[in-house]
Amino acid sequence: MKRRRTTPSNPKPRRGGGAGGGGRGGFGDDFRAFQDALREFMVSEGVAATIRDSGKPHGLLVTTGGWRTGDRANQNEGIASLFMAHEDYALLYRSVQAKQTTVVELEVTNKFIPGPITVYNTVGELRGSEKPDEFVVLGAHLDSWDLATGTTDNGTGSCVVLEAARTLALLAKQGVKPKRTIRFCLFTGEEQGLYGSKRYVEKHADEMARNVRRDGPRHRHRQGARLRHPRPGRTR
C-alpha cells in the first residue's frame, strides 16, 4: 500500500470518453520527449501512480493504455496509470478545491500472461476472372477492448466485411465474378499495436504494388499500397 497526496485537475467530463493510448503512434517527437521528461520527473518525485478522470457517466471506466515502443510486456514504466470513475474523481477534486487534506489509498492487482501468444488473422478471397494477380482488400479489425463498446469498435466494421464477402460470393456463384481478386481480411491485434495488419503487409510484401485502391472524389484507379491511415474524404 502506498499513500500520496493528490491534486486532481478540473474533472469536467470529456466528449467521447477518456484519453487514447496503445503505443500506435499519432504523436510528434516533441510530445514524446515531453512524456519522457514528465515520466522521469515523476519517478524522481516518488510518484506511486497517476490517476485520470474516466470522463464517462454512470461509473463507466475507460479501457485503454499506453507504452512507448515494442511489446507491452517488455516495458518497465515503474508508475501505474489508473482511471477513476468520474463521480469519484469529481469528489476528490471538490475536496482539494475546499483545501481539505486528501489521501488516496490504492490497491492494484495486474498480471501479464507470458508470451508471445499466437493469434491469427482471418483471410478469405474471391479470385478475379481477368486480373487475378491484382488485389482489392476489404479489411476490419476483429479484436476489441475487453470492456469497450466492441459492437462499434469494431463489430460494425467486421460485419461490413463479412456481409460484403457473403454477397459477392453469392454473386460469383451466379456467374457475376469480379475482374480482380477481392481479399477479405479480419485483422487481429489492432488495439495492441496494429499487429495483424502489419504482419499481413509483411507476408504479402510482393503483392503490395498490385493492390488497387480508389482515391479522390472521382475514384480514379491507382496501383500500389499506402501504410498510412486514410485521410477524411479518401477511401482505399
Return the closest-CA partner of residue 123 out of 205, 182, 198, 189: 182
- This prediction has a pTM of 0.63
Q: Return the number of other C-beta atoms located less than 10 Å from residue 94's C-beta.
A: 13
Find the helix or strand (DSSP H, E) in which 131 lies: strand 131-141
Whether residue 118 contacts residue 195, with contact meaning beta carbons closer than 8 Å, is answered with: no
Residue 76: the pLDDT is: 64
Catalogue the active-site residues: 190
Give dist(CA 146, CA 61) in Å, integer. 12
The CATH number assigned to the domain with range 122-223 reads 3.40.630.10
Residue 164's H or E segment, with its range, is helix 156-173
Burial class (CB in 10 A: 0-12, 13-18, 19+), 151: exposed
pLDDT of residue 31: 84
What are the φ and ψ backbone dihedral angles of 173, each rounded to 5 degrees?
A: -65, -25
Helix/strand/coil for 184 = strand
What pLDDT does 144 receive?
81
Cell of 13: 467530463
Closest CA to 75 of 226, 192, 234, 187: 192
Domain boundaries, the chain: 3-105, 122-223
Query: So what's the pLDDT on residue 70?
Result: 61
d(CA 7, CA 51): 10
C-alpha cell at 235: 477511401
Low-confidence ranges of the chain (pLDDT < 70): 1-27, 65-78, 146-149, 214-236
pLDDT of residue 192: 79
